[in-house]
Structures are given as C-alpha cells and as structure tokens.
C-alpha cells in the first residue's frame, strides 16, 4: 500500500464521518418537529 492510498482512505473516512454527523443532527431536529415534542420532552 502506498502512502497516497492510505491518505485517500483516511480523508474519505473523515468526510463520511462528518457527513453522518451533519445528517444526524439535521434529521434529529426534523424528527422532533414532526413528532411535535417540546424541548422538555426530548
């Protein structure tokens, strides 16, 4: 394995991790709005 392949794999895994974090926070807020929950019921 080249060092370049290792760097590409690391960068892609970090990008996937950040995108899942971003989607998780967005979908969590939409789910709370859809269920009509208040902030205390979270």
* pLDDT number for residue 6: 96
Which residues 6+ apart lie within 8 Å of 42 measured at CB? 32
pLDDT above 70 (res 36): yes
> Measured between alpha carbons, how far is 32 from 42 in angstroms, rounded to an integer?
8
Q: Quick one: pLDDT at residue 4?
A: 96
Residue 33 above 60 pLDDT? yes
The pTM of the full predicted model, rounded to 2 decimals, is 0.60
pLDDT, position 39: 57
Residues 6+ apart with CB under 8 A from 32: 42
pLDDT of 16 higher than 60 = yes
Q: Is the pLDDT of residue 20 over 70?
A: yes
Spatial distance between the Cα atoms of 33 and 18, rounded to a whole number of angstroms: 23
Residue-by-residue DSSP string for 1-39: --HHHHHHHHHHHHHHHHHHHHHHHHHHHHHHHHHT--G
């Amino acid at each position: 394995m080249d060092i370049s392949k290792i760097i590409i794999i690391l960068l892609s895994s970090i990008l996937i991790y950040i995108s899942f974090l971003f989607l998780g926070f967005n979908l969590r807020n939409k789910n709370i709005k859809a269920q009509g929950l208040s902030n205390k019921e979270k």
